[in-house]
Structure 1
Amino acid sequence: MSEGEMTGAEHAGQAGQLTVETTATDGIRVLSLAGEIDHHTGDTLRQALDASGTPRPRIVVDMHQVTFMDSSGINILIGAHRSLSEAGGWLRPAAIRESVMRTISLVGIDTVIDCHETLQQALID
């Protein structure tokens, strides 16, 4: 890759977009996010977090490439946490950048949702 070229994740963050890559590890859905979470990209995240019909849904959200999150993202995470908990599952955001973690801590989400420093920590059941 020559200087000046960007990977898809870097481009997504700079363009104000959000990309979601979904994988699974030991029955846990892992969402790897890249870019910004705001009112323009919120539906993408909301759809990725939808686990309706799944018994005991467990979702880890790898946020190490999320460069920005506003109140839209906070509301989506709270809604997903509530839905997953009611279904007997859980939501675990992981590897959150300091700038995004400030927003999460400011509104106290980290006291309600089990946030983890690393993806590996979040995957331990």
Structure 2
Amino acid sequence: MVEGEMADAGQASQPARLSVVSAATDGRIVLTLVGEIDRDTGQTLRQTLDASGTPRPRIVVDLSRVTFMDSTGINLFIAAHRSLTEAGGWIRLASPTEAVMRLLQIVGVDAVIDCRETLRQALSN
């Protein structure tokens, strides 16, 4: 798992466009994302979602502070879902903003990946 921030490519003086804080609780990895998920920040999210080598990985992604997400995020979450499921684990998306949830619904991701309204719900069994 990668923890930290990624600066906008080419402009190191710019504030990070996506920051990720990783924490473990009750056998689950909780990733709190802040900022934008797009082509420029996708590598940070890809690295963060990599749970290879972790037996039965269970990841909860808190989206409550994601301000923008494009198809990059959709593709990364679907790839993570496949990878984690193959490893006997799962991924849950928690607290998506209205705009992010609408995108997840339009493309049908909410029918494939468990999406919960709150972080508390996502952490429950």
TM range (shorter): 0.7 to 0.9
Gaps of 5+ in 1: 1-11
Q: What root-mean-square deviation, in Å, do the aligned CA atoms of Structure 1 and Structure 2 show?
A: 1.8
Separation (CA, whole Å) in 2 of partners of 1:122 and 1:101: 15
CA distance change for structure 1 residues 15 and 117 in 2, over 3 Å: closer, same or farther?
A: same
Gaps of 5+ in 2: 1-7, 9-13
Q: Which residue of 1 aligns with 2:11?
A: none
1:27 and 2:27 are equivalent in the alignment = yes
Q: Which residue of 2 aligns with 1:79?
A: 79
Q: Which residue of 1 aligns with 2:51?
A: 51
Q: Which residue of 2 aligns with 1:41?
A: 41
Scaled by the length of structure 2, what TM-score is found? 0.87
Aligned residue-pair number:
114
Q: Which residue of 2 aligns with 1:17?
A: 17
Separation (CA, whole Å) in 1 of partners of 2:25 and 2:89: 15
Which runs of structure 1 show a deviation greater than 3 angstroms over 4 or more consecutive aligned residues? none
The structure richer in helix per residue is 1
Separation (CA, whole Å) in 2 of partners of 1:26 and 1:94: 16
Q: Which residue of 2 aligns with 1:88?
A: 88
Q: Which residue of 1 aligns with 2:111?
A: 111
The structure richer in strand per residue is 2
SS in 1 for 2:122: helix
What one-letter code is carried by the residue in structure 2 that aligns with 1:38?
Answer: D
What one-letter code is carried by the residue in structure 2 that aligns with 1:56?
Answer: R
Q: Is the 1:16–1:36 Cα contact (8 Å) retained in structure 2?
A: no
SS in 2 for 1:106: helix
